[in-house]
Amino acid sequence: MKKNIFKSAAAIALAAAAAISVAGCKESGNAGSGSDDALVIGMIGPLTGGAASYGIAVKNGAQLAVDEINANGGVNGMKLELKSQDDEHDAEKSVNAYNSLKDDGMKALVGTVTSAPCEAVSKVAAEDNMFLITPSGSSINCITAGDNCFRVCFTDPMQGAMAADYIADNLSAKKIGIIYDSSDTYSTGIVQGFEDEAANKGLTIAAKEAFTADSKTDFSVQIQKIADSGAEMLFLPFYYQEASLVLQQAEGKLNIPVMGGDGLDGLADPAILGEKLSVADGVLVMTPFAASSPDPKSKAFTEAYEAKFNETPIQFAADAYDAVYAIKMCLEKSGVNDPSISASDLCDKLKSAMTQIELDGITGKTTWGADGEPTKAPQVMKIAVNGDTAEYVNP
């Protein structure tokens, strides 16, 4: 384990960029490695670019699961093989990556990682009847293209509703201030779910202030309006990069509790906030996984991940790890033992089995409905800062 609790997403992305040439949709170092006795699982996500930390985490989490499964004899006598493609968080490149993987023998897909590419790929996967399980694509339309599509993570509106439930059921705050990214479907989806459930739970939205991708460095106006509204809690349904700026700029101006969705996973990275790390102390984060959790399964996964990749895993890695193990359970349930099975025939077997399994995974006990949506309990963790390090603890 790196002794800093978290390593910066920027550093991870830089390392990946140094190792992977940015030239169209690239295969991540495993071209030509196929074998006749291995069932090929594809993975698509951003391995370079601004979202690379998420894609690399998914690739690593999936690879860890594949390696563990193979080391324990495979599945029904078959080995698994992971083949990865970089989509640079671009929908068109993601479809190209999908077609490349299909040509390279892919029989099931873990991906894509981010929502817009996932929506695009899910449409062609539905046409092909290719089994798709996205670890982290959280927009509603990521899995609505067909009955071949499933997800590990919560939807954005569901996450927002759960956040409102948590505040209403566990905290004293009744007047909530919201800052959100109106140009981002992830952020707006969470806000939608939060507002709808807040009304049902007796919470009041004291102020709702937007920013966009073109204006996400100066939050002084939004912070002042939240302060003037008398809000008793601040809800930040967007990503940790922008949240780090909000917290720094709000220091001394807002003295109220802060909560965010799973996009805030990474906020406790000392490299993100540096000397200002203390502003993250006490922030509540909705995340199904925390590397510092004492849960035995999470601890074992974290130790194995760190030993293999010399990095601390984030939620995306845990989601991908669970996605591969869900595929394993479905292969076992359906009795598939021939890696030469067609992707369409395999999909029929996997999607039937998905509604019959319960995965006791790193991100919780999960079952799936025929609509592809997961059912599992949400988890809320609190960031605890101690000097120049931070960890997640139970709130």
pLDDT, tens digit, 9 for 90 and up, residues 211-233: 999 999 999 999 999 999 999 99
- The pLDDT, as a whole number, for residue 66 is 98
Instruction: Look at residues 162, 388, 382 and name the one whose alpha carbon lies nearest to residue 292.
Output: 382
Rounded Cα distance, 67 and 46, in Å: 21
Q: CA of 63: how far to CAs of 199, 302, 319, in Å?
A: 43, 14, 12
184 and 283 housed in the same domain: yes
Residue 394 lies in a domain: no
By C-alpha distance, which of 42, 13, 39, 17 is closest to 30?
42
pLDDT > 70? residue 17: no
| Host domain of residue 206 | 157-287
- Residues 6 or more apart whose CB falls under 8 angstroms from that of 215 comprise none
The residue whose two tokens read 């909530």 is 176
Same-domain pairing of 101 and 229: no
Structural contact between residues 336 and 346, judged by C-beta atoms closer than 8 angstroms: yes
Residues 274 and 170 in one domain: yes
Confidence (pLDDT) at 24 = 40
| Rg over CA atoms, the chain | 21
Shared-domain flag, residues 225 and 302? no
Residues 306 and 361 in one domain: yes
The arrangement of strands across the sheet holding 149-151 comes to 79-86, 38-45, 108-111, 131-134, 149-151
Q: Would 381 be classed as within a structural domain?
A: no
Q: In what order do the strands lie in the sheet with 380-386?
A: 204-211, 175-181, 233-236, 258-260, 284-286, 380-386, 389-393
> Do 176 and 43 share a structural domain?
no
Residue 68's nearest CA partner among 57, 58, 82, 56 is 82
Q: Which amino acid appears at position 141 of this protein? A: N
Query: What confidence tens digit (pLDDT) does each residue in 179-189 have?
Result: 999 999 889 99
Give pLDDT tens digits for 88-114. Answer: 999 999 999 999 999 999 999 999 999
CA nearest to 320, candidates 52, 55, 48:
55
Q: Where residue 10 falls among pLDDT bands split at 50, 70, 90?
A: very low
Residue that terminates a domain, selected from 263, 287, 311: 287
User: In terms of domains, do 26 and 138 share one?
Assistant: yes
Closest to 148 (Cα-Cα) out of 355, 356, 357: 355
Residue 229 inside a domain? The answer is yes
Q: Give me the number of domains the chain comprises.
A: 2
Alpha-carbon distance of 245 to 299, in angstroms, equals 31
Q: What was the pLDDT predicted at 283?
A: 97
* Structure tokens given for 160: 């927002």
Does residue 71 sit within a domain? Answer: yes
Half-sphere exposure of residue 121: CA atoms within 13 angstroms, side-chain side: 38
The CA distance from 105 to 124, in Å, is: 16
Sequence-distant (≥ 6) Cβ neighbours of residue 105 within 8 angstroms: 34, 40, 83
| The pLDDT of residue 36 | 63
Q: How far apart are CA 160 and CA 191, in angstroms?
A: 6
Mean pLDDT of 139-143: 92
Q: Tokens at residue 302, please?
A: 């974290």
The predicted pLDDT at position 14 comes to 38
Nearest to 289 by CA among 278, 302, 277: 302
Element (H, E) at 108: strand 108-111
Q: Please indicate, yes or no, if residue 276 is contained in any of the structural domains.
A: yes
Task: Decide if pLDDT at 19 tops 90.
Answer: no
Same domain for 162 and 149: no
Does 347 fall in a domain?
Answer: yes
CATH of the domain at 23: 3.40.50.2300
- Mean pLDDT within 366-379: 92
